[in-house]
A and B are shown apart, each in its own frame.
Chain A
Amino acid sequence: AQTVTQSQPEMSVQEAETVTLSCTYDTSESDYYLFWYKQPPSRQMILVIRQEAYKQQNATENRFSVNFQKAAKSFSLKISDSQLGDAAMYFCAYRRAFDSNYQLIWGAGTKLIIKP
């Protein structure tokens, strides 16, 4: 069974600095998708970035980028120029690419604190 592990329960960073959140996963599949979701205090789940496993190029979305290491099964999120609004829980999630079951499998989350 696939699993997703986020080993950092909490991270803090100074405003305007860069922070990296870690995520590792375990799968025997070769095709899959990986996601980072943000959950601010409002509890809304917001998709931050996604990565298709067949793509070698790391995904980027403005200040958010990932470091996808397929062989190492690692999928870290880098947030540049951290802003106060980035404070939230961040969840890493995995989904099989070709399956009748398209559920997302989630990590336990990392709480990101932004220091002003």
Chain B
Amino acid sequence: DSGVTQTPKHLITATGQRVTLRCSPRSGDLSVYWYQQSLDQGLQFLIQYYNGEERAKGNILERFSAQQFPDLHSELNLSSLELGDSALYFCASSTRDVSYEQYFGPGTRLTVT
């Protein structure tokens, strides 16, 4: 158990809908990262937050947005969902923005039908 929690574990929704994925980092970690893993592929970095501020952006679609709250939990919002958005979404956390250790949550499996 990495100490990073993600909810929900599974999510099934229809095209055009909007969903919110939640992540709670390890106690004391200030950085949160979001990654997308499509079927049988490597991970793609989406976005990073550090202590409430956006720190880096990767291949995140305009339909997706994220934020980190004062209690350091983070939410990833996915809207106007398409079939291709079906994937495993991972959250990871680290102590500092310079830390090289990222601890991953169990992921949220999103299925868009």
Contact A43 B88 (CB under 8 A): yes
A101 CB–B CB distance under 8 Å:
yes
How many Å lie between the Cα of A98 and that of B89 in the bound state? 26
Q: How many residues of A contact B (CB 8 A)?
A: 25
Contact residues in A for B103 (Cβ distance below 8 Å): 47
Q: Which residue of B lies closest to A34 (CB)?
A: B100
Contact residues in A for B58 (Cβ distance below 8 Å): 103
Q: Which residue of A lies closest to B90 (CB)?
A: A45
Least Cβ–Cβ distance between A104 and chain B, in angstroms: 6
Contacts known (A91-B43, A104-B45, A106-B42); A43 close to B102, Cβ less than 8 A: no
**Which one, B40, B55, B90, B104, contacts A102 given CB within 8 A?**
B55
Contact residues in B for A109 (Cβ distance below 8 Å): 40-42
Contact residues in B for A108 (Cβ distance below 8 Å): 41-42
Contact B102 A104 (CB under 8 A): yes
Contact residues in A for B94 (Cβ distance below 8 Å): 102
> Interface of A with B (CB < 8 Å)?
4, 33, 37, 42-47, 50, 52, 91, 93, 95, 97, 100-109
